[in-house]
């Protein structure tokens, strides 16, 4: 079915030969439009383009892959219509190699093709992030140590001035910040030089020309303009009927004051006027005819204006011009030193990377820029390579353009045809969704073009896509109502107008019942600690838990099987239809998961709602990961007390707190001065003290410790010849820890976490670092620099509520969205440091007088702080927009605040300029909740907003919920519990209150169940449980043989991994292989590749297989019998069974009670005369040790025989074990 494009979409698809900026609102189908544009460019017209004449740049590999697949699918469909088209055939063949790529990948390819233009080795590789962190830490440490040794006075003064505590971390952070900002500039050295030159200003005229002073004057002017508007609005109210007209003279004076400030031409004049600013006292009004509401409105505005002017004075005019100049001179040495250190660090880091033949992602972009542009005296010129690429690419298409930075902009510009007068860059994005400022994205680039490009056709055109094909009109109207008021040009640089607003484009069929509901805003009034007021021992709800309880209740309501929310599902019934919302349709979005996600998931789970949060942090604090990392630490150095104590207390060491305390007590009591200290020293002493004698106080402790330290000694030896990932595999199996965590709750996630650690070890082994010591450093540095992987994620049940961050949700859509935690305060920490850095305004610092030990912020630092705060608030606006636009059918916002009523009173006199709240007011918000309340204030009274019945704004349903109401039942339970507790505590414990009851109680306690023996029987046992009871040995329980060092391995001979990992891999492969078709090595290789490609086996499992072993089995006499059976349909694999066996037959007593035995038969086939039972074994045994396997598995195979005969009603004529190690079949009796 052909897509019906809107007129705007058609214009985007069909326009050619220009720079085109497409502002695509959320849900406007930008990806579909972009793909259609590409398809038409390469398939339509008299001379359609080839796909290699287009350069399509995205920001993620996933987006690039998706786009490539869409284009290929569309070309294939065109080929179905026109199969003889040689042009289409060529495009289909070229698409897999087309330049549909990330910017990093494009740069990497460019460098590989033109490495000869650079001074680098063509065999370079992109460094692993952990490796680069280590390298950066090493470079920083070496550099600072050298400077300390030099005793450079400027360096020492800088350290004394800006270091925090006894650590260099603060200094390192400042150097890294300057370095990072410089790298986001196309010409890093020039940026550092420009910051340096700004320090040379010597008078106010020069300062007036600086970027930071221009920002100050512009910002002050904008604030004053808004304040003037507010005063004028107050004067209009004074002139209304029953208005406070007596206030007019004072307000007129206020307006004149603001005018004088606005007219100040330079900082000196502005500073002088602002310091002289004063406000007359308002006249006293006693007349009863004056409208009290109008009077309060005017006084409220005037109070706000007075406070704003006071803040302006504190922010920008706390110093005289002379003091400003003095600050610049006083901080010059410190800033110059910082810039020098950042430049020196960049040089050394680059040298280290060259030594190791590494590049990082910054290098990719800068090296590409070096190939494409030359730079002399501040002017750039395109190189021959750039000209060649400009000729090659008919058009450059950039997706998510709002997230570009200056370096990427320079790259795109260098290969475009703009310099030849024929601009050819297509840019699509939504600046309202630019939420990666922390990655130094520059939404300003988008905004500059948006402001300068014309809506009319021409070389520089912009087109708005504002129809939303994702969400219901009810959702869109609520988003528009909020953002019309709070998204302004002066805060975030975006004016939310009719062009920017969201217009409904999706069609939802009409339906009777609960479908298409309005957005809800649930305001929870109060705080936690209510239960504590009742009883100090009560476990109180936190504010987060209270909010989660509200959401849990709402989810139950929405998913109620009878009265739940109806949502449209295009797959429902095969044709599409309405169904009741389920848990899998619900997502809870949070600004940050840290500290929130766990509380929300726990509350939901306690309420019976399945929930899951995929965190980006928490990996290193997962108990199983911490335990194994601690084990690695003590393998490297057992003298470390904290990791040693952690492992001893873990299931590996099994030492209790009391036993450990006893161990240390023995050491303290009997050790002599000078003997080894710490836990390891205590063990050495304990061993000498007791020897083979058992400790009378703690029998068995000596044996427990001896076993552990022998194991530790074994692994210390193994660490000398095993690679890290091999050591980890060995640790998991040799300690039994892998099996232990598998049996714990969330065992699958825990296993995945340990598997991820093996992956990280393998990644580390590909770096330039080697050895266990450096691996531990590698992990420690990842922790230190907050590079957490997040816990391993597993595909959970579809019917599960997901909790995720707003950033994670970008680009996704969900039927029901809860936007939670709206009262969480904005993070403004970045503007509080001693040194602030801005890519446009440079560096601002505190001025520290070391002699007088006085610290004071400079004016420039105040300016940078103001810009950073405005930038952060603009980013928060865009994050809020992203969050609200994820909802398709229903949006619910929640926030808990104890001061809701006071906030509404504070916002009651808010005025609007053309429907928008002034940015001077918006900028005072501390949370999303504040912005929501501001958008409601002035339209609705506090009593309407917080009334018991709530309010309907037409687009929003407002509801206030009290904390006490939410926990009312819990309060009753706690009160009853406290009364019961007090009553019990007051009882006489000796007195018998009821003789008859006491008699019955004694009889009950003395009762003995006549069939007590049967209660100890298991109702069901698995093969593994039978093993634990000593019935037989598990197939993977083999002795630990030391791994052969690589230098002793026979050439070409692969050492086989051991244990459960390998056994599982072989069983999976043999289950999947078609014995009738796989006969040769080529057949086998092809089959295994298919398993990898189809993801039926992962890379790790496949690496554990030996093709030689598998071929030996397939070509054995047993293999041939199985192949014949499979070809004729007589073979069954991985057959699960449950069979009931009387307890007496299992030596489990004389009872006739049946015990269910559960297991899986590897394979059986039907032949003439009966069934043949086959089991594969991977145990390590030597030639001639067939009887070992017979002894281990005879009983297991007997159970399998009994189960198979009971299950099929046929006789088992043969039982065969096939040993993969011996490459031999072993018949059993």
- Domain residue ranges of the chain, discontinuous segments joined by +: 7-124+359-465, 125-356, 519-614+798-965, 623-784, 1020-1228
Asked whether residue 1037 carries a pLDDT value surpassing 60, the answer given is no
Where does the pLDDT of residue 1049 fall: very low under 50, low under 70, confident under 90, or very high at 90 and above? very low
Q: Is the pLDDT of residue 533 over 60?
A: no
Look at residues 615, 610, 548, 553 and name the one whose alpha carbon lies nearest to residue 799: 610
Which residue bears the tokens 């606006």?
877
Annotated binding residue 26: yes
Distance (Å, rounded) from C-alpha 935 to C-alpha 719?
A: 63
Q: Where are the alpha helices (DSSP H) in 513-653?
A: 530-534, 543-558, 597-606, 623-636, 641-649
30 is in an annotated binding site: yes
Percent over 90 (pLDDT), the chain: 60
Distance between CA atoms of 1188 and 375, rounded to whole angstroms?
76
Residue in the structure block whose two tokens are 């006549």: 1010
Give burial (CB, 10 Å; 0-12/13-18/19+) of 178: buried
Secondary structure class of 174 (helix, strand, coil) = helix
Please say if the pLDDT value at position 548 is more than 80. Answer: yes
Q: What is the mean pLDDT of the chain?
A: 88
Confidence of residue 695 (pLDDT cuts 50, 70, 90): confident
User: DSSP per residue over 1051-1104, as a string?
Assistant: TTPPPPP-HHHHHHHHHHHHHHS-TTT--SHHHHHHHHHHHHHTTSS-HHHHHT
Q: Do the annotations mark residue 292 as ligand-binding?
A: no
CB proximity list for 991: less than 8 A, separation 6 or greater: none
- Those residues whose C-beta lies under 8 Å from the C-beta of residue 1036, and which sit 6 or more positions away, are 1059, 1060, 1063, 1178, 1179
- 685, 670 in Cβ contact below 8 A? yes
Which tokens sit at 818?
A: 């809860």
Residue 1046: is its pLDDT beyond 80?
Answer: no
- Domain 7-124+359-465 in CATH: superfamily? P-loop containing nucleotide triphosphate hydrolases (3.40.50.300)
Tokens found for residue 1017 = 């029987």
CATH topology of domain 519-614+798-965: Rossmann fold (3.40.50)
Q: What is the share, in percent, of the chain residues with pLDDT greater than 70?
A: 90
Can you read off the two tokens belonging to residue 373? Answer: 């542009």
Is there a binding annotation on residue 11?
no
Q: How many CB atoms lie within 10 A of CB 1153?
A: 15
**Do 243 and 274 touch, CB atoms closer than 8 A?**
no
User: Residue 103 has what pLDDT?
Assistant: 95
1020-1228: CATH topology: Lambda Exonuclease; Chain A (3.90.320)
Q: How high is the pLDDT of residue 231?
A: 97
| pLDDT of amino acid 1052 | 41
pLDDT of residue 193: 95
d(CA 978, CA 536): 10
**1021: its two tokens:** 């046992």
Check residue 438 and give its pLDDT: 86
Rounded Cα distance, 709 and 647, in Å: 11
Q: Is the fold of 623-784 the same as that of 1020-1228?
A: no
Tell me: is residue 31 an annotated ligand-binding position. Answer: yes
Q: 515-528: per-residue pLDDT in tens?
A: 999 999 999 988 65
pLDDT tens figures, 201-217: 889 999 999 999 999 99
Q: What is the 3-state secondary structure (H, E, C) of 380-444?
A: EEECHHHHHHHHHCCEEEECCHHHCCHHHHHHHHHHCCHHHCCCCEEEEECHHHCCCHHHCCCHH
Sign of the Cα torsion 49, 50, 53, 54 reads: positive
Mean pLDDT computed over 337-347: 97
Q: Is the pLDDT of residue 115 over 80?
A: yes
Closest CA to 10 of 2, 81, 27: 2
Collapse the DSSP code of 855 into the 3-class scheme (helix H, G, I; strand E, B; otherwise coil) and give the result: strand
Please answer whether residues 1204 and 1171 qualify as being in contact, where contact means their C-beta atoms are separated by less than 8 angstroms: yes
- DSSP, collapsed to helix, strand or coil, labels residue 1184 as coil
pLDDT-wise least confident of 241-255, 567-581, 1046-1060, 1086-1100? 1046-1060
Residue in 342, 347, 278 with CA at minimum distance from that of residue 313:
278
- What sign has the CA pseudo-torsion 585, 589, 595, 600? negative
Once rounded to an integer, what is the mean pLDDT over residues 462-473?
Answer: 96
Question: Looking at residues 304-317, what average pLDDT do you find?
Answer: 95
Dump pLDDT digits (tens) for 1197-1220: 888 898 888 888 899 999 999 999
Mean pLDDT of 1129-1149: 76
Q: Specify the pLDDT at position 1058.
A: 47
Question: Which pTM value belongs to this model?
Answer: 0.76
Q: What is the mean pLDDT of residues 28-47?
A: 94
Average of pLDDT values for 3-24?
96
pLDDT for 181 = 95
Q: Tell me the per-residue pLDDT of 249-264, one tens digit each, with 9 for 90 and over.
A: 999 999 999 999 999 9
Q: DSSP 3-state helix, strand, coil percentages of the chain (rounded to 5)? A: 55, 15, 30
**Element holding 1157 (H helix, E strand):** strand 1154-1167
Indicate the CATH number of 623-784 among 1.10.10.10, 3.40.50.300, 1.10.10.60, 1.10.486.10. Answer: 1.10.486.10
- Ranked by mean pLDDT, the top range of 284-298, 789-803, 861-875 is 861-875
Question: Is residue 334 a known part of a binding site?
Answer: no
Question: What is the tens place of the pLDDT at every residue in 403-440?
Answer: 999 999 999 999 999 999 999 999 999 999 999 988 89
Q: The tokens of 356 are what?
A: 């190791």
The answer to whether residue 343 scores a pLDDT higher than 60 is yes
Confidence bin at 1101 (pLDDT 50/70/90): confident
**What gap in Å lies between CA 759 and CA 752, rounded to an integer?**
10
Please check the confidence at residue 676 and state whether its pLDDT lies above 70: no
Does residue 778 register a pLDDT over 60? yes
Which position has the higher pLDDT, 574 or 839? 839
Q: Residues 155, 811: contact at Cβ < 8 Å?
A: no
Q: How far apart are CA 802 and CA 795, in angstroms?
A: 12
Residue 754 has pLDDT above 60, yes or no: yes
pLDDT of residue 1147: 58
């Amino acid at each position: 079915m052909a897509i019906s494009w809107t007129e705007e979409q058609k214009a985007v698809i069909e326009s050619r030969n220009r720079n085109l900026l497409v502002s695509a609102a959320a849900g406007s189908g930008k990806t579909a439009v972009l793909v259609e544009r590409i398809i038409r460019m390469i398939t339509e017209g008299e001379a359609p383009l080839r796909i290699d004449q287009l350069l399509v740049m995205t920001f993620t590999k996933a987006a690039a892959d998706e786009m490539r697949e869409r284009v290929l699918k569309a070309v294939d469909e065109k080929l179905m219509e026109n199969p003889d088209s040689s042009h289409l055939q060529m495009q289909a063949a070229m698409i897999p190699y087309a330049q549909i790529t990330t910017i990093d990948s494009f740069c990497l390819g460019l460098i590989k093709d033109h490495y000869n233009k650079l001074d680098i080795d063509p065999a370079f590789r992109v460094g692993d992030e952990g490796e680069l962190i280590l390298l950066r830490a090493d470079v920083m440490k070496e550099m600072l140590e050298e400077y300390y040794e030099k005793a450079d006075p400027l360096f020492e003064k800088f350290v004394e001035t800006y270091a925090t505590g006894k650590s260099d971390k603060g200094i390192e952070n400042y150097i890294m910040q300057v370095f990072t900002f410089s790298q986001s500039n196309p010409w890093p050295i020039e940026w550092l030089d420009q910051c340096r030159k700004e320090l040379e200003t010597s008078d106010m005229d020069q300062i007036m020309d600086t970027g930071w002073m221009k920002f100050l004057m512009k910002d002050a002017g904008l604030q004053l303009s808004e304040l003037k508007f507010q005063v004028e609005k107050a004067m209009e109210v004074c002139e209304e009927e029953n208005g406070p007209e007596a206030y007019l003279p004072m307000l007129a004076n206020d307006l004149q004051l603001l005018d004088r400030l606005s007219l100040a031409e330079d900082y000196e004049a502005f500073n002088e006027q602002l310091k002289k600013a004063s406000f007359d006292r308002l006249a006293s009004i006693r007349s009863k005819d004056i409208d009290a509401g109008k009077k309060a409105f005017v006084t409220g505005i005037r109070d706000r204006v007075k406070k704003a002017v006071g803040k302006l004075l504190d922010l920008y005019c706390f110093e005289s011009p002379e003091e400003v100049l003095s600050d610049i001179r006083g901080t010059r040495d410190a800033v110059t030193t910082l810039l020098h250190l950042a430049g020196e660090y960049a040089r050394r880091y680059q040298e280290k990377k060259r030594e190791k033949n590494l590049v990082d992602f910054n290098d990719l972009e800068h090296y590409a820029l070096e190939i494409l542009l030359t730079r002399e005296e501040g002017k750039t010129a395109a190189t021959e390579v750039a000209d060649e690429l400009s000729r090659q690419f008919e058009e450059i298409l950039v997706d998510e353009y709002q997230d570009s930075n200056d370096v990427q902009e320079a790259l795109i510009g260098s290969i475009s045809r703009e310099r030849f007068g024929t601009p050819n860059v297509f840019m699509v994005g939504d600046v309202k969704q630019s939420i990666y400022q922390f990655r130094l994205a520059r939404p300003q680039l988008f905004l500059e073009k948006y402001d300068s490009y014309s809506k009319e056709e021409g070389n520089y055109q912009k087109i708005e896509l504002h129809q939303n094909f994702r969400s219901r009109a009810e959702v869109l109207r609520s988003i528009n109502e909020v953002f019309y008021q709070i998204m302004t040009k002066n805060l975030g640089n975006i004016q939310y107008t009719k062009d920017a607003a969201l217009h409904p484009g999706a069609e939802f069929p009409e339906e009777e019942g609960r479908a298409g509901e309005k957005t809800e805003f649930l305001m929870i009034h109060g705080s936690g600690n209510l239960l504590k007021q009742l009883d100090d021992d009560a476990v109180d709800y936190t504010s987060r838990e209270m909010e989660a309880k509200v959401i849990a209740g709402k989810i139950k309501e929405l998913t109620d099987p009878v009265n739940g929310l109806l949502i449209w599902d295009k797959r429902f019934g095969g044709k599409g239809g309405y169904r009741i919302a389920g848990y899998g349709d619900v997502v809870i979005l949070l600004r940050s998961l840290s500290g929130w996600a766990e509380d929300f998931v726990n509350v939901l789970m306690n309420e019976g709602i399945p929930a899951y949060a995929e965190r980006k942090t928490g990996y290193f604090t997962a108990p199983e990961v911490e335990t194994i990392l601690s084990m690695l630490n003590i393998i490297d150095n057992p003298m470390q007390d904290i990791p040693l104590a952690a492992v001893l207390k873990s299931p590996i060491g099994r030492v209790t707190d009391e036993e450990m305390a006893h161990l240390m007590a023995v050491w303290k009591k009997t050790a002599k001065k000078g003997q080894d200290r710490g836990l390891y020293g205590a063990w050495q002493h304990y061993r000498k003290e007791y020897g083979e004698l058992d400790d009378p106080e703690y029998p068995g402790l000596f044996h427990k410790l001896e076993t552990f330290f022998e194991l530790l000694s074994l692994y210390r030896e193994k660490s000398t010849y095993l690679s890290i990932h091999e050591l980890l595999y060995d640790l998991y199996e040799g300690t039994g820890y892998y099996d232990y965590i598998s049996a714990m709750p969330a065992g699958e996630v825990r296993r995945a976490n340990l598997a991820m650690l093996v992956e990280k070890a393998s990644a580390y082994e590909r770096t330039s670092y080697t050895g266990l010591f450096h691996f531990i450093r590698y992990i420690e540095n990842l922790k230190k620099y907050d590079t957490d992987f997040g816990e391993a994620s597993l595909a959970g049940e579809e019917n599960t509520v997901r909790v995720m961050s707003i950033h994670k949700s970008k680009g996704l859509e969900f039927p029901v969205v809860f936007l939670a935690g709206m009262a969480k305060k904005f993070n403004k920490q970045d503007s509080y440091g001693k040194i602030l850095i801005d890519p446009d305004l440079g560096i601002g610092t505190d001025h520290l007088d070391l002699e007088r030990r006085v610290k004071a912020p400079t004016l420039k630092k105040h300016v940078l702080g103001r810009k950073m705060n405005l930038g952060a608030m603009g980013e928060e606006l865009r994050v809020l927009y992203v969050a609200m636009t994820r909802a398709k059918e229903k949006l619910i916002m929640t926030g808990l605040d104890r001061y809701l009523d006071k906030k509404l009173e504070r916002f009651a006199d808010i005025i609007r300029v053309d429907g928008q709240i002034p940015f001077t007011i918006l900028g005072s918000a501390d949370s999303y909740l504040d912005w929501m309340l501001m958008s409601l204030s002035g339209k609705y009274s506090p009593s309407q907003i917080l009334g018991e019945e709530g309010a309907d704004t037409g687009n929003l349903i407002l509801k206030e919920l009290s904390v006490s109401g939410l926990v009312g039942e819990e309060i009753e339970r706690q009160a009853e519990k406290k009364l019961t507790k007090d009553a019990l505590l007051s009882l006489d414990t000796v007195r018998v209150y009821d003789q008859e009851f006491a008699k019955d109680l004694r009889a009950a306690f003395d009762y003995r169940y006549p069939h007590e023996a049967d209660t100890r029987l298991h109702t069901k046992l698995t093969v593994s449980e039978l093993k634990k009871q000593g019935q037989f040995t598990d197939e993977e329980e083999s002795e630990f043989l030391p791994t052969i060092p690589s230098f002793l391995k026979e050439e070409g001979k692969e050492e086989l991994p051991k244990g459960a990992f390998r056994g599982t891999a072989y069983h999976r492969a043999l289950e999947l292989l078609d014995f009738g078709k796989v006969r040769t090595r080529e057949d086998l290789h092809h089959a295994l590749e298919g398993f990898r490609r189809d993801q039926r086996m992962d890379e790790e499992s496949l690496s554990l297989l030996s093709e030689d072993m598998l071929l030996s089995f397939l070509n054995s006499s047993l293999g041939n019998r199985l192949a014949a059976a499979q070809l004729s349909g007589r073979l069954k694999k991985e057959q699960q069974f449950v069979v009931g066996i009387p307890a007496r037959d299992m030596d489990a007593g004389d009872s006739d009670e049946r015990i269910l035995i559960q297991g899986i038969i590897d394979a059986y086939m039907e032949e003439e005369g009966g069934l043949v039972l086959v089991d594969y074994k991977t145990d390590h045994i030597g030639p001639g040790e067939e009887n070992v396997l017979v002894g281990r598995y005879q009983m297991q195979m007997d159970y399998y025989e009994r189960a198979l005969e009971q299950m099929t009603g046929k006789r088992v004529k043969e039982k065969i074990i096939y040993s993969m190690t011996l490459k031999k079949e072993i018949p059993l009796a």
